[in-house]
Amino acid sequence: MRWEATAMPNAEKVNQLQQELGVSAVVAALLAQRGINDFYSAKNFFRPKWEDLHDPFLMTDMDQAVARIQKAIAAKEQMMVFGDYDVDGTTSVALMTTYLKENGGSVTAYIPDRYTEGYGISYQGIDRAAQEKISLIIALDCGIKATEKVAYAKKKGIDFIICDHHLPGEIIPEAIAVLDPKRTDCNYPFDELCGCGIGFKLIQALNQKQGKSEEQLYPYLDLVATAIAADIVPMVGENRTLCFFGLKQLREAPRLGIKCFIEQLKKPLTVSDLVFKIAPRINAAGRMDHALTAAKLLVSETPQEVKTIAEAIETFNAERRATDERITQEALHQIEQRREESHPATVVFHDTWHKGVLGIVASRLIETHYRPTAVLTRSGEDYVGSVRSVKGFNVYTALEDCSAHLLQFGGHKYAAGLTMNANQLEKFKTAFENAVNSRILPEQKEAILNYDLSIDINAIDHKLFRIIEQMAPFGPHNMRPVFKSENCYDSGASRVVGKDRSHLRLSVATNKGSLTGIGFGLAHHFQAIQSGAPFHILYTLDENEWNGTVSLQLRIKDIKF
């Protein structure tokens, strides 16, 4: 991988910040890189406030959404909360159904079946609403392009409120309200909320309209923080504020359905834990069974019910891991057989692959073959797929170039889903490769590891670590700082570890003795390190607890000689 430094801030600005805040040059530079240039902005960064959240009524159509829901509650109308089957969708459904029920609403939760209905608002869901005499559907994390389905519902006497964060098409659905900060006619100050975040703004608006206190919204923040982390949205602005308070809720009073997983961690919860431990389990229900299972877990208040569902989800998660590992190996074999190394994009297909893990497999393939990747399988008469991208490349735009060969598609810059007729596979493959080839830049073809600062290994101490921890929550646009240290030497205590002996327990010599680091999958460097040759490392700072002793630890990302 190529190592690339983040742009260094102006030296004068760093020095001024250092003096104003009384921090080290390293900390001042890290803050300046994140756009923090004075005491006031630093105070807001380290101590997010509830008041930092924007007025929800600044969002286009919020007044209409609130009025329609208030009317439905007053008239005792039946409502349906409709969500996507991923973490963002299931947390959104849990948030909205719980809030509406607690405020007098009659609500049915609905999440489409990943396999029989596919992504987004479905005709089956609308038909079910009509059968149950539901007159209002609130769609979360989907719906921004569902113009025909919203029109179909209208003919059946069903109103729609859409809460979405995906890019709109040219036509906005004719719903009662469409809440999406990415609308061109929406001037809401922050347009990077996830679906659950927009759902939260809706209940915040309802709460304000009823004159209720902000404290009554705190119990929902654990769901919002989980969705923010899982959906990999920028950890700035409202996302960072909501995640900050959401983590506080998760640590102090999480709902039972999340608490059962947190208890397994045996350490203070972080955003990384949400991304890599909690989210995969919530997702596993929708991938291997039905996402409503996860939604039930998130709204349950009965310990025995939580225990039963959580055990089932653990089983689904184990099945998911085994399935995605097998399919990844099959896809890699397919790529190698076709000798596609020189192609600008990867497109692989097998009609028996499990639809629920295609996105995970696409991400894993990029780790080996670094290029935009589509993984497809059969779903009924059609083919469906997940698409993942490389850093900087907008895969959604590439799919727009291929739209003539697709029945439907949707998603983000880096992740998307699609459906096509079976006879369009080869045409799509050619079109996708051509689209990638014409749009991708040379620097987007090479895997890059970014780092914030180059520092002397002897500058690492507990004080620096404590300040860095206060920069959390970490995520896109506020990643955990990555450092580079050059000309390091083995202290003599480095060794290979792990069941398959693929990991490196690194011991770096310092002025005060040594610093220990763990490099997953980096055991192949052991011989060169043991030889006494100087080496350069990229790493983040971590703490390791062993036998009651807490020590600093380097999380090694890469090593070069």
Tens digit of each residue's pLDDT (9 = 90 or more) over 69-108:
999 999 999 999 999 999 999 999 999 999 999 999 999 9
Instruction: Based on the fold, state whether residues 148 and 188 are members of the same structural domain.
Output: yes
Count Cβ neighbours within 10 Å for each residue of 527-541 and write b for 16 or more, e otherwise: eebeeeeebebbbbb
513-519 and 503-510 strand pairing: antiparallel
Q: How many domains does the chain have?
A: 3
Instruction: Identify residue 456 by its one-letter amino acid code.
Output: D
357-399: per-residue pLDDT in tens?
999 999 999 999 999 999 999 998 999 999 999 999 999 999 9
Domain end (from 445, 473, 495): 445
Strands (E), 78-156: 78-83, 106-110, 134-140
Instruction: Based on the fold, state whether residues 291 and 145 are members of the same structural domain.
Output: yes
Q: Which two tokens stand for residue 37?
A: 């240039």
- Residue 197 banded pLDDT, cuts 50, 70, 90: very high
| pLDDT at residue 341, rounded to an integer | 61
Instruction: Based on the fold, state whether residues 84 and 216 are members of the same structural domain.
Output: yes
> How many whole angstroms separate alpha carbon 107 and alpha carbon 98?
9
145-178: per-residue pLDDT in tens?
999 999 999 999 999 999 999 989 899 999 999 9
Better-predicted residue by pLDDT, 119 or 32: 32
Q: Which two tokens stand for residue 371?
A: 């290029």
- Residue 340 banded pLDDT, cuts 50, 70, 90: low
Q: What is the domain-level CATH number for residue 482?
A: 2.40.50.460
Please say whether the dihedral angle defined by the alpha carbons of residues 69, 71, 72 and 73, taken in this order, is positive or negative. positive
Instruction: Based on the fold, state whether residues 199 and 283 are members of the same structural domain.
Output: yes
| pLDDT at residue 438, rounded to an integer | 97
Residue with tokens 């990077």: 192
Instruction: Identify residue 92 by its one-letter amino acid code.
Output: S
Question: Do residues 390 and 371 touch, judged by C-beta distance below 8 A?
Answer: yes
Q: Is 553 exposed, middle or buried (0-12, 13-18, 19+ CB in 10 A)?
A: buried
Omega before residue 473 within 30° of 0, cis = yes
Instruction: Based on the fold, state whether residues 430 and 512 are members of the same structural domain.
Output: no
Instruction: Based on the fold, state whether residues 208 and 277 are members of the same structural domain.
Output: yes
Instruction: Based on the fold, state whether residues 367 and 477 are members of the same structural domain.
Output: no
Instruction: Based on the fold, state whether residues 181 and 228 are members of the same structural domain.
Output: yes
| In a domain? residue 518 | yes
| pLDDT at residue 272, rounded to an integer | 94
Instruction: Identify residue 146 by its one-letter amino acid code.
Output: A
Q: In what order do the strands lie in the sheet with 503-510?
A: 453-454, 483-488, 535-546, 549-560, 513-519, 503-510, 495-497
Domain end (from 445, 480, 503): 445
Question: CA-based Rg of the chain, rounded to a whole angstrom?
Answer: 25
Instruction: Identify residue 23 by its one-letter amino acid code.
Output: V
- Residue 545 banded pLDDT, cuts 50, 70, 90: confident
Q: At what angle do helices 303-338 and 279-288 cross, to 10 degrees?
A: 80
Instruction: Based on the fold, state whether residues 32 and 130 are members of the same structural domain.
Output: no
| In a domain? residue 292 | yes
211-229: per-residue pLDDT in tens?
999 999 999 999 999 999 9
| In a domain? residue 317 | no
Percent of the chain with pLDDT over 70: 99
Query: Quick check: 403 pLDDT over 90?
Result: yes
| In a domain? residue 42 | yes
Question: Do residues 519 and 525 touch, judged by C-beta distance below 8 A?
Answer: yes
Q: Which domain holds residue 170?
A: 56-311
Give whole-number Cα distances, 201 to 55, 107, 188, 229, 238, in Å. Answer: 8, 19, 11, 17, 10
- Residue 550 banded pLDDT, cuts 50, 70, 90: confident
| pLDDT at residue 418, rounded to an integer | 94
Residue 493 has φ and ψ, to the nearest 5°, of: -110, 5
106-110 and 159-163 strand pairing: unpaired
Instruction: Based on the fold, state whether residues 114 and 173 are members of the same structural domain.
Output: yes
434-458: per-residue pLDDT in tens?
999 999 999 999 999 999 999 999 9
